[in-house]
Amino acid sequence: MTAPDRLSPGDPAPEFTLTTDTGDTLSLADLRGRRVILYAYPAAMTPGCTKQACDFRDSLASLQAAGYEVVGISPDKPEKLAKFRDRDGITFPLVSDPDKSVLTAYGAYGEKQLYGKTVTGVIRSTFVIDADGKIERALYNVKATGHVAKLRRDLGLD
């Protein structure tokens, strides 16, 4: 497997309809007209992913006040996402992409470096999608800690 194709500003955001942590479905089309922060993370309830989710949770009110909706995406099953939501008080949708097709379409699944080795997995990434469904920002290989604060600065919110 080679490095995945990456999205760039101006590209259309790949459409999706996925099952959420509540068992409902969420489509990107459902969010048209709003700006969306879609962030891809490797696995619910792991330390880095928990830190990142809690940072988004803690910033959710100000992100929403600035016109952003937040959605987390991982290959985890909806049942695990529900446990993650309940354990950590996550207050935004978490969507399940078990076959990794959406993650792949966003360039957030493929070869990456992990502890000096090349492995295949979810590439921690964040996508800012404009109200028309176009990529505004595509950030790959982000750090779990400090990423939300940096994103807020980059979006002019801090």
* pTM for this predicted structure: 0.94
For the question of residue 54 being annotated catalytic, the response is no
Quickly state the pLDDT bin for 1 (edges 50, 70, 90).
very low
What percentage of the chain exceeds 90 in pLDDT?
84
Per the model's pLDDT, the better-predicted residue between 45 and 28 turns out to be: 28
State the catalytic residue, choosing from 31, 38, 49, 138. 49
Q: 20 in helix, strand or coil?
A: strand
Quickly state the pLDDT bin for 4 (edges 50, 70, 90).
low
Q: Which domains does the chain have, with CATH numbers?
A: 11-155 (3.40.30.10)
Quickly state the pLDDT bin for 2 (edges 50, 70, 90).
low
Q: Is 66 left (phi over 0), alpha (psi -120 to 50) or beta?
A: alpha
Helix ranges restricted to H, the chain: 47-65, 78-88, 101-105, 147-154
Per-residue pLDDT tens for 72-108? 999 999 999 999 999 999 999 999 999 999 999 999 9
Inter-CA distances, 73 with 1, 32, 41, 99, Å: 22, 18, 6, 12
Per the model's pLDDT, the better-predicted residue between 22 and 1 turns out to be: 22
Instruction: Write down the pLDDT at residue 114.
Output: 77
